[in-house]
Structure 1
Amino acid sequence: MSSRRGNTLKRGSDRLESALKATLALVSVALIPLSIWVGFAVGAAQSALADEQAERSTAVTATTTGASERHSTTPAEYVTAGSFDTAPATWTWNGTVHRDDLAVAPDTAAGTSVEIWVDRDGAATAPPLSSGAVTTAAVVSGMFTWFAATSLMVCAFLVARASIDRHRDRQWERELRLFLGEASRS
């Protein structure tokens, strides 16, 4: 005699757990296109930011006018101690000579050419985002989106499974009491 519901020894809680596992797997795979879309969206936004930064700044060559000096940072509550080197340098922008201390590699000698980025006024500024940084942001964002959503679903599955396991334990205890005849004594 065949059963319409499959294996007769398989409980409803077993079927529910199997359905939850299958749903978790399917949704996890279905999240891949969403994660790719998030990665592309972040990449486009970061690329636009890099283009905007590139329009507002220009690369120029500065020349150090003195040897580099090492500076130490003092540790703070969330910052570790470190060190960095700076050297006085000059560069020309739109016919005007500019002077400032620039971050340089350790042991940089006077007269060394250093490529820097300057803003529209000729002041030293941070370089625009590189294409590598844009790509990294896009990939990490996409991967994090998938990982975070999948992790939340796994946590929800584990909570549901714990509830299912408690239900199974109670059911086993009832059935064992009935089997042993303890139900009439209670």
Structure 2
Amino acid sequence: MSSARWYLRALGRNPLVRLSDRLESLAVLAVFVLALLAVPVAMQAGHLAYDARMQTAVEQAHSRHSVESVVLEGSRGLPADFDSPAYVRVQWREGTRLRTEQVASAATVETGAPLTIWLDQSGKVVSAPLTATDAELGAVAAAVSVWVTALVGSVLASVVVRRGLDRARARAWEHELHVLAHNDDGWANRHI
């Protein structure tokens, strides 16, 4: 809390406050302002992502249908690599013919268990259509990522400004210490 007070005091009219302190305070204030201004932009990004995902969900709901199948060869235990799904062999009836195919399963499935699979209009096995919950989660992820990106960008810009100001202040101190150490009756401060 004391650093926040310092930044606010640096923006005041105190004649002892250096220009570099005022610039640093403005940079910190800009981070807070940009964080607030990024909220509506992030919300708009979330709304756009939600609309796009809901449109995809509606299209997928019209072009995909579920089929109940029976697992012929179940998965054996948990997969060693959690990034790759376990594949099981399933069988289902499509009209008058019996189809057998290998499909991805998110969970461990025993042989003989029923499993719902999704087919597109051509009969190809596809993933389940997006739901409204999927669209909401995607929208939240888009909004949060836009806001965090704006916040991180403004914080990094503030850090760059502060480092530049710190270097300038260090050079000013070095100059003053040099003048103090090598007192030449004011000749070092003489403007040419």
Q: TM-score, normalised by structure 2?
A: 0.77
The change in CA–CA distance for 1:123 and 1:96 in structure 2 (over 3 A counts) is farther
Q: CA deviation at 1:107?
A: 4.8
Q: RMSD between aligned alpha carbons?
A: 2.9
1:37-186 superposed matches below 5 A: 37-64=44-71, 66-70=72-76, 84-93=86-95, 96-104=97-105, 105-110=107-112, 112-180=113-181, 182=183
Secondary structure of 1:147's aligned partner? helix
8 Å CA contact 1:72–1:83 kept in 2: the answer is: no
Evaluate the alpha carbon distance shift between residue 40 and residue 122 of structure 1 in structure 2; reply closer, same or farther with a 3 A threshold: same
Shift of 1:161: 0.7
Rounded to whole Å, the distance in 2 between the matches of 1:109 and 1:39 is 42
Describe the shift of the 1:82–1:61 C-alpha distance in structure 2 as closer, same or farther (beyond 3 A).
closer
More helix by share: 2
Q: Normalising by structure 1, what TM-score?
A: 0.79
Q: Distance in 1 between matches of 2:27 and 2:167?
A: 16
Query: Residue type matched to 2:100 in 1?
Result: R
Identity value in percent: 24
How many residue pairs get aligned? The number is: 175
Contact 1:72 1:81 in 2 (8 A): no
Q: C-alpha distance in 2, partners of 1:6/1:150? A: 29
For residues 1-60 of structure 1, give each alpha carbon's deviation from its aligned partner in whole angstroms, at most 9, with x where no partner exists. Answer: xxxx72121111111111111112111111110011101111111111111111110112
1-structure distance, mates of 2:51, 2:150? 22
Q: Which runs of 5+ in 1 are unaligned?
A: none
| Alpha-carbon shift at residue 113 of structure 1 (Å) | 2.1
**Unmatched tracts of structure 2, length 5 or more:** 1-11
